[in-house]
Amino acid sequence: MSTPQESWSISIEKDYLKFSAAHFLIFPDGSAERLHGHNYKVYVDLHTELDAHGLVVNFKEIKPLVRALCDELDEHLLIPGRHPVLTCEPEGEHYDIRYRERRYLIPQNEVVVLPIGNSSAENLAAWFGRTLRERMRGAWPGLQVTMLSVGVEETKGQRGIWTLREQP
C-alpha cells in the first residue's frame, strides 16, 4: 500500500490580470491570419512546499509580478521574434515587420518582440510562464517550485497552457 502524498498550491484568477494586444498567427502551410486583437486573461497555478508561515507564497507578493507582465504586453503588437520567415527590423523609430507579401511599419514603442516562434496562446503562455519563473527566482531565490502552470486565454473558454515541473 502506498503512502498518501500531500501537496499545496495556489491558483490565481483575477479580472485585472489581463492585457489587450494585437497579433496574427502563422500556420504550418504558410498562410497567416489577418492582424487582429484579443483581450487576453492570465491564470497562474503554483505548487510548492509550505513555508514556515504555512504559505505557498503570499498572494500579495505574486500578484504584482503577474500584473507587471500583463502591463508589459498591454496595448502592443506582439511579434514572434523566432519565426523562421517573419522579420522584424528596426527602421528609425519604427519596426519594419515583414511576412511574405505583408509589410507593417509600426512605431517601436507599440511593438513587443517575444522570443517565441509564433504568437499563439500556447506560446504566449510559455513566454509568460518562463518570464514569471525567472522573476520569482529573483524575488524568492530559495523557493522550491514543484510545478508552475500558466494559462493565457484569448477568448472565453479558449486558452493555451504551459506547465513547468521542477525536480527538488
Which residue ranges make up each domain of the chain? Answer: 8-24+37-79+111-165
- pLDDT for 4: 84
Task: Name the one residue in this structure whose C-alpha cell is 523562421.
Answer: 84
- Four-residue CA torsion sign, 112, 117, 121, 123: negative
The 8-class DSSP code of residue 32 comes to B
Phi, psi of 64 (to 5 degrees): -65, -30
pLDDT in tens, 146-155: 999 999 999 9
Q: Give the pLDDT confidence of 50-103 residue by residue, as tens digits.
A: 888 899 999 999 999 999 999 999 999 999 999 999 999 999 999 999 999 999
| pLDDT of 131 higher than 70 | yes
Distance CA(69)–CA(87), nearest Å, equals 24
**Between the CA of residue 168 and those of 9, 100, 141, 145, what are the distances in Å?**
16, 46, 14, 8
Confidence check: pLDDT of 140 > 80: yes
CATH of segment(s) 8-24+37-79+111-165: 3.30.479.10
pLDDT, mean of residues 149-162: 97
pLDDT band at 129 (very low <50, low <70, confident <90, very high): very high
For residue range 99-121, what is the model confidence (pLDDT) as tens digits? 999 999 999 999 999 999 999 99
What percentage of the chain reaches a pLDDT higher than 70? 99
Q: Smallest Cα–Cα separation from 88: which of 73, 103, 101?
A: 103
Residue 101: phi and psi, rounded to 5, are -85, -5
* C-alpha cell belonging to residue 147: 510545478
Distance (Å) of CA 118 to CA 5, 46, 78, 89: 38, 25, 9, 17
Model's pTM, two decimal places? 0.94
pLDDT reported for residue 34: 96
Which amino acid is located at 11 in the chain?
S
The pLDDT tens digits for 40-53 are 999 999 999 988 88
At residue 168, the pLDDT reads 65
